[in-house]
Amino acid sequence: MIHEVRVGSNGIDFQFTFHNQGRQPVDLEWFQPACIRVDRFTGLNQSNYISRSFIFTEHGLSTLNKTRRRQEGLYRGGQVYVPNGINLADVNPRPICLDQPVNGLIGCFSADGKQLLATASGSTHELFEGVYVCLHSDPHVGGLAPGETKEIRAKIYLMENDPQKLLLCYRRDFPVEGH
């Protein structure tokens, strides 16, 4: 894998290039490119940071504390938000929320309410609210055939607290997912 990082005006771009140089397929369905710790940004801790964290559902921007959360999972803690079409047997073995995201964005609001931080990845496999006051947008790879190359993009946004502007940036950066 080749990993490129570029800083732009409203965030950080990541480009991952996977190439299977072997003769056998590689069973790589998804990966976690970044564990973004948000405790200092939100001013909150593990017990309450979900009140300032969000995804976009069929109801629009939804703070994570207002989603239909579950407690059952192989491992306790956190919450996995899985887009339509992803095999639930092949996601992070944490509790899976009943609400599905409609795009690949997961983010949070700053303690003073003036900024937002969000992350997204192309071909999103899952969004994850972690167990270390963290947020993840994990890309779907879907395996690699012998000789196959796949490119996956991810981005971290840091901008003024304007969810509509965030959506516009996301749709520009990820036109396939950002419908």
Question: How does pLDDT run across 50-81, given as a tens digit for each residue?
Answer: 999 999 999 999 999 999 988 877 677 789 99
Task: Give the percent of the chain with pLDDT over 90.
Answer: 82
Q: What are the backbone dihedrals phi and psi of residue 106, each rounded to the nearest 5 degrees, phi first?
A: -140, 140
Each residue's pLDDT tens digit, 9-39 = 889 999 999 999 999 999 999 999 889 999 9
Tell me the average pLDDT of the chain.
Answer: 93
For residue 70, what are its two tokens? Answer: 């579950």
CB atoms within 10 A of CB 25: 12
Question: H-helix or E-strand containing 150?
Answer: strand 149-160
Q: Are strands 11-19 and 149-160 parallel, antiparallel or unpaired?
A: antiparallel
